[in-house]
Structure 1
Amino acid sequence: TGALGSTEIARTNWVDMAIGAAISGISIVIGENVCGMDPNAEIKNGRVVRSPELERRINTYKEWQEDYGMITVQANVEDTRLGVPELAIELGADAIELKWGQGAKDIGGEVKLNTLERALQLKSRGYIVVPDPEDPAVQRAFKNGDFKEFERHSRLGMVEEESFCREVERLRNLGAPRVTLKTGAYRPADLARAIKYASEAGVDLVTIDGAGGGTGMSPWRMMNEWGIPTIYLQAMAYEMAKKLESKGRYVPDMAIAGGFSLEDHIFKAIALGAPYFKAVCMGRAMMIPAMVGRNIAQWIKEDKLPKDIKQYGDTIEQIFIGAYELRKKYGDKYDEITPGAIAVYNYCQRLEIGLKQLMAGARKFALCYISRNDLVALTREAAEVTGIPYIMESDMDLVEKILES
């Protein structure tokens, strides 16, 4: 999944997402700032020693985790200062994800705060809060109703190879089973740095995000106009990884994110990046079924099920076809699986079956066999960008041999 951080939408949908991901055998990422935003976190000498919210998130996934999948905890500048990686490792996180910038963008990380007490608390924890809640004039203006909310912002990460490699080594020495890197649609030189530094540090996975994601209050024009589109970004990353490999360097496994939602998207992404890209990261697409499942359960309870859904039935088991498998597998524990989690499982089933159909059509019966040879470019521009053969030139050598034989 994509990273579910300190936003309210991530917090309220966590149980559905975590259980759904765990029973589907996929990995999930706890995003940045979760401990810093936890109102009940215990912080001593500038370090977090307990966070009920982080505990809740890790434990929910771990309770349902089976043979596949892992739970990763992100760490940005504030998280690292607070000691979040240390606490996450202690709580059983499977990986720590270092984060450059704010996911797919190089600024941001904003949330709104509607009380003075909350603004003061977060400033005391090291966050940038605007306007300054400690300023008496600001306090008077807020109490007078001149403005209604504060903003919390995260600091920008500045990366150097030596310090990055030291941090990766430090996390491994702390006991992190895996260390990963999340980077975004920055300029090509920054992408090269991410891949090269990850290679030098021996990072286990690099996730590259081409979507203009972020919180709902992220700058709209920036989200639309800034960055590198996913297909261009992945094409660049492929060439960079190929060059490193040609020099005998270690190439970390990579995952691509950036607007994926369906099985054909997954197939094309893995094929375009083969053999270096091993996974696809899906954020909003994974959250939608969780929210739909919760809504449907509420409509059933209130007897307000819309007609277009009611045609499939009027119970969770009738509407979500995978529910009966879960009931059979989990028995009495099935009742603890939330409707949102069942919907996530159902969605993952759809992706699995659809992907298997495409793979069968390509005669590729395991993900590791999917290759760039399974793709063609429909335009010369796409061929130029990706290096995938143009359709009218693809297989021409074989065509000639067949016709001349």
Structure 2
Amino acid sequence: MSDVYANSRSTTDTAVRKKDVNPTSGMCPICIKDCKILCEVGKSALRGREVLYPDTEAFGHSTASSNKDYGLDWSDFQILTDVMGARGIEPDPDKATFPAVDIRTKAGGVPLEVPVFTAGLGSTAVAKNYWDGLAVGAAISGSMQVIGENVCGMDMDAVITNGKVTKSPDLDYRVKKYREFWDGKHGDIVVQTNVEDQRLGTDVYALSRLEVNVIERKWGQGAKAIGGEVRIYDLKKAIELKKRGYVVIPDPEDPAVQKAFKDGAFKTFERHSRVGFPQFEGFVEDVEWLRDQGAKKVFLKTGAYRPAATAFTLKCASAAHVDLLTIDGAGGGTGMSPVPMMNDCSTPTVYLEAQVMNCVRIMKENGMYVPDIAFAGGFVNETQIFKSMAMSDLGTGPTVKAIAMARAPITAVMKSTYFNELAKKNDLPAGFAKAYTSDPTKFMIAYSDLEKKYGDDVKKIPVGAIGLYTYWHDRIAVGLQQLMAGCRKFKLECISRNDIASISERAARVTGIPMISDVESDLMSRILLDGSGGDVNVKSMSKKEQVAIKSRIQ
């Protein structure tokens, strides 16, 4: 597979002069001096490490992802619809309608109205800038919102006494904002903690002072494996963060660096988090300690590390009896993930889920505890959600109980916020306004539903939150109901591995999901030649055939 984008990427705002690039380097076949176009090499010669990261000018109002084709994704599978029988509901045409499909779930014991939640959004600017829409949107959707890493450490108004946080207005605000519209039953606010947070005592502060129910330990994410990173625009803040123990690049206390910053040679500092080195016994003891501190539930979030690390993570999660394990596949980021790392590091989502399911199979065969699992890594729609859940079924229903999202919810909040701003300025795209009006209460299609539910309080809901609710409830939820009804599965726990088939040899080889050309091929002749009339004579079939048929018609 050629790497034609190695020297030209939209994420770094680089380009090349010629289209017929060298397939290995991505460079123009002839590179000339008098070229004003900045390719990766050229821009790197001028701006160095800045070119490692997504467009720096858009930081705080953008998200980024890989643009690499990994050779296997959810489009390599096809959903197999059905017409015989129904599961989860009486097979009655008047009852088994697609709106009757129940997509509610429990993830880590937390009831969710929709099988999605927002993954950890912490100290990166885009999370803070759009927090109201994200938090309230998750709350009114009956879903979880995970407050990501480093919030207390980045809070310049935080009070830190003897190395421990005793007050953090930013964390307080984020928790309270979610709870303003939380019904107390569906979803919950989760506080994520990394190495820096544990040193600061963020977990104890959240549990004791904010009465948070759920703590999530973070080992990593799919977009990067070197700790969280953000941009700092203020010299004093950069110095303070260094004093708090963060890695800040370049050194804000260096006089030469300070002069270069003031002279405009560069505009931002980088703040990096340390990486953890988890150990089996230490993690188990840590989870027990969290529960002693008052945590009602303990989650674990990990990235797309090598296969041995995946097995180690599952072993730790099993021994500690964590409530939910979120596993993040490679390819996506929310703030400042290095572009080379997003593209070429870690295990892509489908490959990763195949590895995880192999581990889960071994765990179940040996009587080990298997936590609820959530997957993350580039999910944007209901077909991907369905396929991930279907793949995770090992005979007792999906092991994947929910899908974690980050970029997509942020986009939903950003887009709805922006279009409402355009409406106020009478600057909506002409075609959009003609089709949907210029009135936000009309062009936001779920507004009337929320108005019916909340009355005048709907005006207190941020427009970004309405956008997230609409995306999750009016698009993904309805779309998932339609897919499930097409498979005659009317509850999430009824989704089966048999509901999908591979349409590429690689997909079949990696996941064990058979090719669509092989699915039930041994059953077709038996059904056609069965002498029982219109109904299938299951008793005359082999045990394997009986299981295959019964799984579909019961």
- Indicate whether 1:79 and 2:227 are aligned: no
User: Could you tell me which residue of structure 2 aligns to residue 326 of structure 1?
Assistant: 450
Match for 2:521: what amino acid? M
CA displacement at 1:217 relative to structure 2: 3.5
Residue 58 of structure 2 corresponds to residue 58 of structure 1: no
CA contact (8 A) 2:222 2:346 kept: no
Alpha-carbon distance in 1 for matches of 2:340, 2:181: 40
Aligned-residue CA RMSD in angstroms? 1.5
Q: Does 1:358 align with 2:477?
A: no
Provide the C-alpha distance between the structure 2 equivalents of 1:215 and 1:266, rounded to a whole number of angstroms: 20
Instruction: Select 1:392's aligned residue among 517, 525, 533.
Output: 517
Tell me by how many angstroms 1:292 deviates.
1.1
Contact 1:377/1:390 (<8 A) preserved: yes
Q: How many residues align?
A: 405
Q: Show the counterpart of 1:404.
A: 529
Q: What pairs up with 1:172-191 in 2 under 5 angstroms?
A: 172-191=291-310
* Farther off after superposition, 11-20 or 266-275: 266-275
| Alpha-carbon distance in 2 for matches of 1:118, 1:164 | 33
Q: Is the contact between residue 333 and residue 407 of structure 2 (CA under 8 Å) also seen in structure 1? A: no
Q: 8 Å contact 2:133–2:462 — kept in the other structure?
A: yes
Structure 2 Cα separation of the partners of residues 267 and 382 of structure 1: 16
Q: CA deviation at 1:26?
A: 1.3
1:289 offset after TM fit, Å? Answer: 1.3
The corresponding residue for 1:39 is 156
Q: Are the counterparts in 2 of residues 94 and 176 from structure 1 also a CA contact under 8 Å?
A: yes
The Cα of 1:315 is off from its aligned counterpart by: 1.2
Which residue of 370, 380, 393 maps to 2:495?
A: 370
Is 2:428 the partner of 1:305? yes
Asked whether 1:260 is paired with 2:379, we answer yes
CA distance in 1, matches of 2:432, 2:424: 14
- Cα distance in 2 between the residues matched to 1:393 and 1:3: 40
1:110 offset after TM fit, Å? 1.6
Q: Would the alpha carbon gap of residues 12 and 147 (structure 1) be closer, same or farther in structure 2, given more than 3 Å must change?
A: closer
Unaligned 5+ segments in structure 1 are none
Q: Choose 111-120 or 99-108, whichever is displaced more.
A: 99-108
Alignment pair present for 1:9 and 2:126 = yes
- The answer as to whether partners of 1:33 and 1:79 remain within 8 angstroms in 2 is yes
After TM superposition, give the deviation of residue 184 of structure 1 in Å.
1.0
Please report how far the alpha carbon of residue 105 of structure 1 lies from its aligned counterpart in structure 2 after TM superposition: 2.3
Q: Compute the displacement of 1:363 (Å).
A: 0.8
| Preserved CA contact (<8 Å) 1:105 1:186 | no
Q: Which string of whole-angstrom CA distances, capped at 9 and with x for unpartnered residues, describes residues 191-232 of structure 1?
A: 001111000000011111113333543221121111111101
Query: Structure 1 residue 146: deviation in Å?
Result: 5.1
Bigger proportion of residues as helix: 1
Which letter maps to 2:153? G
Q: Does 1:247 align with 2:366?
A: yes
Question: Kindly tell me: are residues 2 and 163 of structure 1, through their superposed partners in 2, closer, same or farther at Cα, counting changes over 3 Å?
Answer: same
SS at match of 1:364: coil
Equivalent position to 1:280, from 403, 413, 424: 403
> Which runs of structure 2 are paired with 1:137-286 in the superposition (5 Å)?
137-143=256-262, 145=264, 147-214=266-333, 216-274=335-393, 275-286=398-409
Percent of matched pairs sharing the same residue: 51
1:115–1:320 distance in 2 versus 1, CA, 3 Å? closer
Q: Which has the higher contact order (CA 8 A, sep 6+)?
A: 2
TM-score normalised by the chain length of structure 1: 0.96
2-structure distance, mates of 1:115, 1:28? 29
Counterpart contact for 1:103–1:182, Cα < 8 Å: no
3-state SS of 1:309 partner: helix
Report whether the alignment pairs 1:94 with 2:218. Answer: no
- 1:71 & 1:318 partners in 2: Cα distance? 30
User: What residue number does 2:467 align with?
Assistant: 343
The residue type paired with residue 70 of structure 1 is D
Q: Distance in 2 between matches of 1:391 and 1:131?
A: 54
CA deviation string 1:246-303 (max 9, x = no partner): 1001000101111111111111111111231111111111111111111111111111
Offset of residue 103 of structure 1: 5.2
Specify whether residues 144 and 304 from structure 1 end up closer, same or farther in structure 2 by C-alpha distance, changes over 3 A only. closer
- C-alpha deviation, 1:136, in angstroms: 4.5
Q: 1: distance between equivalents of 2:415 and 2:204? A: 35
Does 158-167 or 96-105 show the bigger shift?
96-105
Q: Matches of 1:129 and 1:255 in 2, distance apart?
A: 32
Which residue identity lines up with residue 133 of structure 1 in the other structure? P
Counterparts of 1:361 and 1:380, CA distance in 2 = 25
User: In the TM superposition, what whole-angstrom CA distance separates every residue of 1:380-404 from its partner, at most 9, and x where no partner exists?
Assistant: 2211111111111111232132022
Mark the structure with the bigger radius of gyration: 2
* Deviation of 1:339 (Å): 1.1
Contact 2:145-2:189 at 8 Å conserved across structures:
yes
